[in-house]
Every structure is written in structure tokens, then in C-alpha cells.
Structure 1
């Protein structure tokens, strides 16, 4: 029972200590909030005098770095705050550029919300940040006094009270210990909530406005549209190259063989027969190449049996041992199925080629309107999406559907790749291996 109580107490204590640490940061940076608020306000007021045109573009990055710190602290408390600033635009060099930057800063609603947050945070951040620290210090003080330090205090001639209890006898010291334990329990209970309260306060002012959300959405759509166009152009070039170098060349060779066989049909029947056999074999080879090309565009198993069975087929063809667990009780839109299929195929190919792994697992399931695929291998790790074109291609595929691709691959492994696409099921699954 004691072991269970200790196991339950440790995470509670850990959360309270982490919250208190964040509270120290909140209280310490409240003074910086005031300094930046005053400096930015004065710079804005002095724009007409020319001084503010130089100062405001220098102070705004500092303000945004501080508010970025508060967003990070809020995220540690479980409150996510998206970046609210409008996308920047190119500026001209020289004085004109400084004026353009000032104009951009002043027309961004997030700049004014930052200022309001800095002003209010002087009080809110300091009070909420200091409260957990004060409770912990007060509880530790009571425990130290009750353990015997009250005797030293009495010997120095000082009458000391802890709470409403005079610390002059051992019974009263025991009562003080109960009070300190109560304060300690209050600290454990309220410290995470107090810091989370500041996180919600920050989200109300530092979160993106409707205008910023629309601008961010438009920028994202523009980027993904460009990615889609580039992907389509690349795929078309690949198909054209495969047709030209493969099936087309094979068909031309078949035509030449048939022509030669026709010319020798009466003069040299044996040679004509040999050419016809070669042409028939080349026809089978060309047909197989066309089938491979079709599978590269949209695999038949994906079209006929759905994503779950198509992924199982990939796993069976992989040179390493791949375990698949799947729960997709229906069909998705064909583009979404294709994107996830080729993404998983690319991941398994990378595992087989580069990860030095002998086992991998795929977990595929549809929950809460999203399709989530997790691919884990026991390889050497070190995969980097920014350095690999294949992984970057997976990111672009996911972004096209407003999805995400998260890669965790520390040196030494394991590598954990997570794909998530918002998509709905539109028909029940009809078959399974």
C-alpha cells in the first residue's frame, strides 16, 4: 500500500514542482513585461518625431520573443497557443523599409494585443507566478520551524508565530507542523492550476485573431497548392519517362521483330518463328511493365480492397518482418487512401534501405474523423525529414490534405513516424485478407 501511495504521490509532486518552476519564470519576467510595454509605447508615440520609426522595428522582435516564451510556458501547462502574427511582406532597403516595417507592425492586430498582454501581465503574471512559490516556501518554513528551529528562534529572544500559532512549545510546534502540512497540500493541489490559469489568460490575448487565422489558412492553401502542382508535374514526368523508356521502346522493338518475321516468313520460316517467339515474349514483358506502371499510379489492390488490405500487402512484400494492426471500418476518399498508401510504402522502403532494421510495425486506425498511421522500426535511427527528399515528399502529401507528419528518430533508434489526415469514411469495408 505504501509503495502504491508513493507511486501515486511522485507524479503529483513532480507536476507541482514543474508548475512552481514556471511560476518563478512568470514572476521574474513580469518586470520585463513592464519594461517592454513602456519602451514600445514610447516608441509608438514618437513615430511622428522619427525616433519611433527606428525604435519600433527593434523593440517588436523583443516583445514577440517574450510573448513566444509565454506561449511555450502555456504549452507546458497543456494550453496550446498558435502564433497570431500576419505573414510578413518584403520591404525596401533604407528609410523606406523602416517605415514599411513600422506600418506593418502597427496594422497587425496581434501587435496591439501583445501590448495589452504586457500591461496586464505585470500584475496577473507576477501574482499567479508568485503564488505557488510563496505557498511552497511557507510550507517548508513551517516544517523547518516545527522540526526544532523554533527553539533556536526562542533562544535568540524573538517571539515567532507561524500562521496563528506561537512557536514557543513543542505542542504548539506540532500544531505548526500540521498547518505547514496543510499549506503543503494546498500547494500540491493548486500550483498546476494557478499556472494553467495564466496559460488560459495568455491564450485569450496572445492567440490568433480571426484575420490572422484566415491569413494563415490562405498561406497554407497557397503553399499546399503549389506542392500539389509540383507533385503532379513530377508524377507526369515520371509516367512519361517510364512509358517512353519502357513500354514504348518495348512496343517499337516488337513491331520491328514482327516486320522482320514477315519478311522472312517465306524465305526462312525457322528464323521467322524465332522472331515471333521473341515478339511474344517481349509482349509479355511489355504487359508486365504496363502493369507495374499502373500499380505505381494507383495500385489495383488499393482500388479493389481498400487501404487496410493494401497496407497488409505492402507489409507482406517488405524484406523485413512487418506487423500490421489496423482498424479502418470503411473506405476513404481515393486521394486520401492513395496519399497514405504511398507514404507508408515510402517509409517501409526507407526502413529497408537505410535503417538497418529487421522489424517494423504499422498501426493504422480511423478515430474522431482522422486517419492515423504510426510506423515504428527497431533500426539505428537518425532519420531527418529536412535532409531526405522522400520524407519531405511525405510531408507535402500530408499537408495537401491538411494533415501532419511527425518524425521522431533519435540516434540509436527507434524511429517513430506518425501520419494523421483529417478524413471521413464514406463506405463500409467489403473485404479483408
Structure 2
């Protein structure tokens, strides 16, 4: 098994050496020439597609690093905005954005390293085992025509001039074979580690990306909070406040009719009592929309079960949480599930929904699956995009699998820690 692994690694080393020499040298040369022609204007047109080819070449190497040696190399590239300007102006803008990305220049440096040091390491991963086989081939008699034609033949540090020295070469070849069995996979991995030093984002780039992400999620959180406050204000103004004003006017009329028309006053009192009950129900619904009492008292699992009971669909809930997350995280998860259930009831044509809530590897993981028609997406302006923005505030992610015809599976992951269950009041 180890020998087979070494042979595969040797073949891959040869492939990488060829790719590093042919691919990296070609792309490096073309890109340098294209950059040199930018002041003349021609480079502005040729640089973006060449940089796209360089990134594709680098991404292919990232893929091989992960598959062949388990070396993970994250993507460092800044996201490019969609092309909104056509013609030369759009090309110039795209070229400028690409050149401002620090990862572009690190890719250029990687091409230079890949066609030098990367090629050497890949060749070392390849040559050890074939070189060991050469020692045995010499001992089988091939040393004679070589020595007769060219004189002394050096195999490693052994001058091969006779059968006895050829036998020593065979012994040395055994050493190279043993070394190759153990060192070839290590050298292949070393090739990818050299590449990772230049293809992976630097701590500064990671920090900049993190700051950008936090800035965007903060803006989203502020916008969401402002919209929520406007909704609460509108609900209070149009609902409970209007009922309380009407109830106050009714009570004023009752006071005036108490002596003149007791029967009418009694009727108005009954109406005011009914209006107060409706206002109280609306206030409770409003409070439940801000932060459901069952969520604060019983936790996310029981709150989701209570939510499922109010849905017109058949909802099965599997919740296994050994503790409580922070209140903002629980609230975000609860309203995300609520939005997903609402979408399933209104738009998917589903009859059944399955919800799984658990905590694993430092993250709250939620899966909501329905048997509806599928086709759901987080396009801008949809309810799912709002859920995505809400989760982004907590570094959460939302993944959607919704082929046309269904089923739809939405997975939510929010990094968090669980504390001991809070005592109920």
C-alpha cells in the first residue's frame, strides 16, 4: 500500500513539474508583457482575461492540493461587482479592480516561485524512485555499453566501471527506492505547501475581509432594526393605539349617558370591554413578534415546537439542545425558522415540514425540509434574503437546496456556545 501510494505520488510529481514549467512560465510571461502594455492601452484589454486564466490555473492547483495531499488553500480574492458598464469603460473598471486586489500580485509571485522552486520540489518527488530503479538496471549489465561508449559513469557518488561497482550501484539504488517510498508523498505535499505560502490569504488580507464582512452585516443589522421599529410603530398606531383611543371615547360617552340612558351606557360598556380584550390580544401578538415569551422561558426547542403547532402544515420537530444559546442568537434562529415555515405554507405547496435543531462542533445547526414544489432562492427582496442578512450579523450562513419539483432543504449554521439551561420563572 505504501509503495503504491509512493508510485502515485511520483506520477503526480511529474505531472506537476510539467504543469509548473509549461503553464506557469507561459502565464507569467504573457501577464508581464500585458502589464507592460497597460500604459499604451492595449494591456487594459488583455490583462483581465489573462488574470482570469491565472486564477483558474491557481484554483486548479488548490483543487489538486486538497485532493492529492489534503492541503487546504483558501481563496483570497476580493469579490468583483457585477458588470454594470459596457464597452471600454467597463473593461477599464474591471482591470483597475483586479490590479487593486493584493491577491493578484501574490498570484504573479506564485507563478514565479512555481516555475522555479515548485518545479524543483515536484521533480524531486518524481525522480527518487526511477533513479533507484536505474541502479538495478545498471547491475543487470547495461553499464557495459555505457562505459565503453562514454567512459566512467557516475551513479550518485559511485563510479561505475565494472560489475562489482554496478552491484554497489544496485545497493545504492535500493536506498533510493526506500527513500522514495517514504519521501515522495512528503515532497509532493511540500510542493503544495510552497504554493500555499503564496496562494493563501495573508493575515492582513483575512483581517481586511473580516472587517468588510462585519461592516456589511452591521449595516444590514441597522437596516433590519430600523425596519422592525417602523413595523412596531405602525402596528401600535394602527392596532392597539386606535382601539384604546376608541375605547376612551366610548367611556366618555358612557359617562355622559350613565343617568340619561343606562341601557345604552351598558351597551357601550360591553363594547368597550370587548375592545379592551382585542387591544390586549393585539399587544400580546406584538410582544410575541418582538420576542416570544415561550422563547425566553423555555428555550429554542420548545419555542419551535409551539410555533409548529400554530402552522397549518404538518410539522415535525426534532430538537436536541443540551443548553441555551445567547438570547440574540436564539431570537435570530427562531425568526429564521418562522420565516421558513411561513414560506413553506404560503409559496411551496408543501404538506409536511421537518425541522431538526441541534448543536454540533461549536455551532447551532438547523435544517428545515419540506415536500413542496421547490424553486426557492435567496434572491434580493425575498424573505430568504432577509433571513440571510439577519444571520450574517452572527457570522451565520444559510444554504438552500431547492430543485424545481422539490423537495426544499434549507440549512442554517450559527457559530455559538451553549450555556447551562436557564431556570424558568
1:203 has 2:196 as partner: yes
CA distance in 2, matches of 1:316, 1:196: 54
**Deviation sequence 1:2-23 (CA, Å, 0-9, x none):** xxxxxxxxxxxxxx99xx99x9
Relative to structure 1, the CA distance from residue 125 to residue 393 in structure 2 (aligned partners, 3 Å threshold; closer, same or farther) is farther
Paired position in structure 1 for 2:77: 85
Relative to structure 1, the CA distance from residue 246 to residue 330 in structure 2 (aligned partners, 3 Å threshold; closer, same or farther) is same
CA distance in 2, matches of 1:54, 1:211: 30
Instruction: Please give the secondary structure, in 2, of the residue aligned with 1:83.
Output: coil
CA distance in 2, matches of 1:298, 1:106: 47
1:68 has 2:69 as partner: no
Instruction: Calculate the aligned-residue CA RMSD, in Å.
Output: 4.3
TM-score, length-scaled by structure 1 = 0.70
1:419 has 2:407 as partner: no
**Deviation sequence 1:264-300 (CA, Å, 0-9, x none):** 1111100000000100110000000000000000000
Instruction: Please give the secondary structure, in 1, of the residue aligned with 2:330.
Output: helix
1:118, distance to aligned residue in structure 2 (A): 2.5
> Is the Cα–Cα contact under 8 Å of residues 16 and 122 in structure 2 kept in the other structure?
no
1:197, distance to aligned residue in structure 2 (A): 7.2
Which of 272, 277, 285 lines up with 1:284 in the alignment?
Answer: 277
> Is the Cα–Cα contact under 8 Å of residues 375 and 406 in structure 2 kept in the other structure?
yes
Which of 12, 22, 25 lines up with 1:34 in the alignment?
Answer: 25
Paired position in structure 1 for 2:339: 346
1:72, distance to aligned residue in structure 2 (A): 4.9
1:25-424 paired onto structure 2 within 5 Å? 31-44=22-35, 55-57=46-48, 59-72=50-63, 74=65, 80-86=72-78, 108-122=101-115, 124=118, 202-386=195-379, 389-424=382-417
1:203, distance to aligned residue in structure 2 (A): 3.3
- Could you list the runs of 5+ residues in structure 2 that have no partner in the other structure? 1-6, 130-182
1:400, distance to aligned residue in structure 2 (A): 0.6
Instruction: Please give the secondary structure, in 2, of the residue aligned with 1:323.
Output: strand
Instruction: Please give the secondary structure, in 1, of the residue aligned with 2:77.
Output: coil
CA distance in 1, matches of 2:354, 2:187: 41
> Is the Cα–Cα contact under 8 Å of residues 86 and 215 in structure 1 kept in the other structure?
no
Relative to structure 1, the CA distance from residue 333 to residue 246 in structure 2 (aligned partners, 3 Å threshold; closer, same or farther) is same
CA distance in 2, matches of 1:429, 1:400: 24
CA distance in 1, matches of 2:120, 2:350: 51
CA distance in 2, matches of 1:27, 1:413: 46
CA distance in 1, matches of 2:93, 2:350: 54
Paired position in structure 2 for 1:173: none
1:108, distance to aligned residue in structure 2 (A): 4.4
Paired position in structure 1 for 2:149: none
- Could you list the runs of 5+ residues in structure 1 that have no partner in the other structure? 1-15, 136-189
Instruction: Please give the secondary structure, in 2, of the residue aligned with 1:384.
Output: coil
CA distance in 2, matches of 1:82, 1:220: 16
**Deviation sequence 1:84-116 (CA, Å, 0-9, x none):** 1356799x9999999998776666442232123
CA distance in 1, matches of 2:184, 2:342: 48
Aligned length: 365
CA distance in 1, matches of 2:399, 2:378: 9
> Is the Cα–Cα contact under 8 Å of residues 27 and 126 in structure 1 kept in the other structure?
no
> Is the Cα–Cα contact under 8 Å of residues 385 and 392 in structure 1 kept in the other structure?
yes
Paired position in structure 1 for 2:172: none
CA distance in 2, matches of 1:28, 1:233: 54
1:81, distance to aligned residue in structure 2 (A): 3.4
CA distance in 1, matches of 2:343, 2:192: 40
